[in-house]
Amino acid sequence: MLPSSSAAFIDRRLAELYPQTPIPLVHRDPFTLLVAVVLSAQCTDKRVNQVTPALFTLAATPEAMARVPVTEIARIIRPCGLAPRKSAALVGLARLLVEQHAGEVPRTFAELEALPGVGHKTASVVMAQAFGVPAFPVDTHIHRLARRWGLSSGRNVVQTEADLKKLFPREHWNALHLRIIFYGREHCTARGCDGTVCEICRTVNGAATGLPSGEKSSPIRRGR
């Protein structure tokens, strides 16, 4: 399949499989989402969700978090890994939010990316999921599947993001990036599929695998 044809099929099929796209990270508002996304770096969403209840009981606002010692935050978030760096970033960004943004999470990429511990991917998640601004955050699942599905040959997430934005309608980006993550975790894992096993791989890679283009495997059943 051509990338444009593959993209159209993937967009349609993932919408059928995942009509709802709940945000995997438990949060209450833009600030707690921002904190959760910072914690998710090199950590699973499941582990983050296990840690944040205690953290948000201690400090669920920028004003409260800015007053908590870094060592106390590091103690709570240690299971997420990189605790010294992440705790310093959380206190630092909380203080900047209080000092420069009246305690509110800013609504621009530039202002978000100026906060400690916030890169483009984190800013993209917040812009998309907290404020509804079209964005296409690319994590390891999306980067891997974009290459596996022939949607991008980018060697880094920056190029992959640019390629995906050209292929998919802007109004689909926010839901689609979550749908790709869900599918990658459930059906097209790094070890469980080699580009020939899952339904989408069999369909878009049909010519390379010896399957007629468009042939599908048996219907997918959602994982629990």
Provide the annotated active-site residues.
121, 139
What length does the chain have?
A: 224
- The Cβ-side half-sphere exposure at 213, using a 13 Å CA radius, reads 6
CB 52 within 8 A of CB 216: no
Q: What is the 3-state secondary structure (H, E, C) of 93-149?
A: HHHHHHHHHCCCCCCCHHHHHCCCCCCHHHHHHHHHHHHCCCCCCCCHHHHHHHHHC
Helix axes 30-39 and 83-101, enclosed angle (nearest 10)? 150
CB atoms within 10 A of CB 2: 9
What are the residues whose beta carbons fall under 8 Å from the beta carbon of 70, sequence distance 6 or more? Answer: 84, 87, 88, 91
